[in-house]
Chain A
């Protein structure tokens, strides 16, 4: 992969409660923004294949989507296109599949696009679709399904982080405070306001020990990237961003098979694979977009990707290391917490942020670059057993 694949354009729409936009509206807007973002222009017909990220499908009323949904909505019926669904890593994995399409030598220019419409249904229903208690009708084990959706699973990790690592609810709250600050500077973020530790701790308890402001919102959104052969990239832009590593990491499908509740082995495996492919170490990375669906999850991500040892993330966060102008900025976009979590669009929104930062076009939220390397990560699915890590760089 390294040296073979480049990103030449990224595009997204502002994430949020987009009641005025359909899935098709969002897809088309993100796609058009992405075309416009290709500095020297591109003829859409040059795009020969696409990967379409869509998680929810029929769960929350968008109907079953396939490759044709994307091809027809962007008026390119000669595309070869597959739909990708890989839980919360759907967006990051859609990008990975597009990169593989180019790295394989089969295609020169391809599109990765993810879109999700989550706000048309109340949270309880869209969370129900995500496994919050479907029960026997979904064909799953009834005990597993007893109210163990995302918030409960992550809260059970948080309880254990408090017990084993000595983390506190204040430690979790500081993640939300940092990410809301970053989100307040990002025009694409779902939430663009600051919060305080007190406000987090005084918000309603959703799943003890997690409060409302420890949880990311459910969001509508779409995001896209155009990926091409590295040797062709300069034809489209003077500022290509190259893909150095891309790997999905997996773990058990059942929570009770899991070895640890203070670490997510899927993330450890994804990071290990991506770093090996890129031939670099965590210390070489300038900044990262990590999957903070819940505040405690970001602390685990930081440790599992290798940016801190187990039990050290909370202190480094408190010391400001992960702030926008700290040693290793984490989630300059605002993260899932403030930027929002439209599942299949989330990972591609993070790719948008990484590329924008690496081109130094991030305006008020621009981080300082040293090596010109950024990292994107997602984790989720049953027992949070699916993860993806993508590593991008300014140099080929």
Chain B
């Protein structure tokens, strides 16, 4: 039987970083970094403001992965999404019937899902699904 991992600092960190989608916007160069950081990844500035990532956007690029890691049923659809209002997020599509339903520019939205089970503990995060109209 798999032994559950003891309560770990990583899960505590995930609350802000993963579940609440908190990143930063650099007040000097405008770059949006995610997760939250104290130093802008693009220019090194410390002049930053917290920025909550928008949950809707359009697909910047994607692929159809027929050889995913063992815990997935192929194919999976990894996507990089340009978020409405700025910032990017990477993840995989869910509730998508066929790879033909997505292309560059397709509108998508984040949904909160169980991502994986790690030694008995569920890890939650966001996946993307086709955006509902309106």
| A residues apposed to B, CB below 8 Å | 124, 127-128, 132-133, 135-137, 139, 141-144, 146-149, 151-152, 155-160, 163, 204-210, 252-257, 261
Which residues of the partner chain A approach B64 to less than 8 Å between Cβ atoms? 155, 205, 207-208
Decide if A143 touches B125 in the complex (CB within 8 Å). Answer: yes
Does B76 count as interface, using CB distance less than 8 angstroms? yes
Which residues of the partner chain B approach A210 to less than 8 Å between Cβ atoms? 63
Decide if A157 touches B92 in the complex (CB within 8 Å). Answer: no
Q: Could you give, for residues 13-34 of chain B, a 1 whenever the CB lies within 8 Å of some chain A CB and a 0 otherwise?
A: 0100110000000000001011
Given contacts A148-B90, A149-B69, 16 further A-B contacts (CB under 8 A): A132-B68, A133-B69, A135-B118, A136-B116, A141-B35, A147-B72, A151-B67, A159-B61, A205-B66, A207-B65, A209-B63, A210-B63, A255-B80, A256-B89, A257-B31, A261-B60
Which residues of the partner chain A approach B129 to less than 8 Å between Cβ atoms? none
Residue of B nearest to A212 (CB): B67
Residue of B nearest to A122 (CB): B70
Which residues of the partner chain B approach A141 to less than 8 Å between Cβ atoms? 17-18, 35, 125
Please measure, in the bound complex, the distance between the C-alpha atom of A252 and the C-alpha atom of B33, giving whole angstroms.
10
Decide if B67 touches A207 in the complex (CB within 8 Å). Answer: yes
Give how many B residues have a beta carbon under 8 Å from the other chain's beta carbons. Answer: 42
Interface centre among A143, A163, A261 (most CB of B within 10 A): A143
Which residues of the partner chain A approach B62 to less than 8 Å between Cβ atoms? 156, 159
Closest 9 CB pairs of A and B: A133-B69, A155-B63, A208-B64, A256-B88, A147-B68, A136-B118, A160-B61, A142-B115, A156-B61
Which residues of the partner chain A approach B91 to less than 8 Å between Cβ atoms? 143, 146
Given contacts A159-B61, A261-B61, contact A147 B125 (CB under 8 A): no
Residue of B nearest to A256 (CB): B88
Decide if B89 touches A147 in the complex (CB within 8 Å). Answer: no
Please measure, in the bound complex, the distance between the C-alpha atom of A142 and the C-alpha atom of B126, giving whole angstroms.
9
Does B10 count as interface, using CB distance less than 8 angstroms? yes
Given contacts A141-B17, A144-B90, A156-B80, contact A133 B68 (CB under 8 A): yes
Q: Could you give, for residues 87-108 of chain B, a 1 whenever the CB lies within 8 Å of some chain A CB and a 0 otherwise?
A: 1111110000001000010000
Residue of B nearest to A149 (CB): B69
Tell me how far the C-beta of A68 lies from the nearest C-beta in chain B, rounded to whole angstroms: 32
Decide if B61 touches A157 in the complex (CB within 8 Å). Answer: yes
Decide if B115 touches A143 in the complex (CB within 8 Å). Answer: yes
Decide if B123 touches A152 in the complex (CB within 8 Å). Answer: no
Please measure, in the bound complex, the distance between the C-alpha atom of A253 and the C-alpha atom of B63, giving whole angstroms.
20
Decide if B65 touches A136 in the complex (CB within 8 Å). Answer: no
Does B3 count as interface, using CB distance less than 8 angstroms? no
Which residues of the partner chain B approach A205 to less than 8 Å between Cβ atoms? 64, 66
Which residues of the partner chain B approach A127 to less than 8 Å between Cβ atoms? 69
Which residues of the partner chain B approach A158 to less than 8 Å between Cβ atoms? 63
Which residues of the partner chain B approach A252 to less than 8 Å between Cβ atoms? 41-42
Please measure, in the bound complex, the distance between the C-alpha atom of A141 and the C-alpha atom of B72, giving whole angstroms.
17
Interchain Cβ contacts under 8 Å between A and B, 29 examples: A124-B67, A127-B69, A128-B70, A132-B69, A133-B68, A136-B116, A136-B118, A137-B118, A141-B125, A143-B115, A143-B125, A147-B92, A159-B104, A163-B61, A206-B65, A207-B65, A208-B64, A208-B75, A208-B99, A210-B63, A252-B42, A254-B34, A256-B88, A256-B90, A257-B33, A257-B41, A257-B42, A261-B60, A261-B80
Tell me how far the C-beta of B65 lies from the nearest C-beta in chain A, rounded to whole angstroms: 5
Please measure, in the bound complex, the distance between the C-alpha atom of A261 and the C-alpha atom of B81, giving whole angstroms.
12
Given contacts A141-B18, A146-B78, contact A207 B90 (CB under 8 A): no
Please measure, in the bound complex, the distance between the C-alpha atom of A141 and the C-alpha atom of B34, giving whole angstroms.
10
Tell me how far the C-beta of B38 lies from the nearest C-beta in chain A, rounded to whole angstroms: 15
Residue of A nearest to B31 (CB): A257
Please measure, in the bound complex, the distance between the C-alpha atom of A367 and the C-alpha atom of B70, giving whole angstroms.
43
Please measure, in the bound complex, the distance between the C-alpha atom of A308 and the C-alpha atom of B10, giving whole angstroms.
45
Please measure, in the bound complex, the distance between the C-alpha atom of A143 and the C-alpha atom of B17, giving whole angstroms.
11
Which residues of the partner chain A approach B69 to less than 8 Å between Cβ atoms? 124, 127-128, 132-133, 147, 149
Contact of A160 among B34, B66, B104 (CB under 8 A): B104
Which residues of the partner chain B approach A261 to less than 8 Å between Cβ atoms? 60-61, 80
Given contacts A142-B115, A158-B63, A159-B63, contact A147 B78 (CB under 8 A): yes
Please measure, in the bound complex, the distance between the C-alpha atom of A143 and the C-alpha atom of B89, giving whole angstroms.
9
Which residues of the partner chain B approach A157 to less than 8 Å between Cβ atoms? 61
Given contacts A137-B118, A159-B104, A160-B104, contact A143 B126 (CB under 8 A): yes
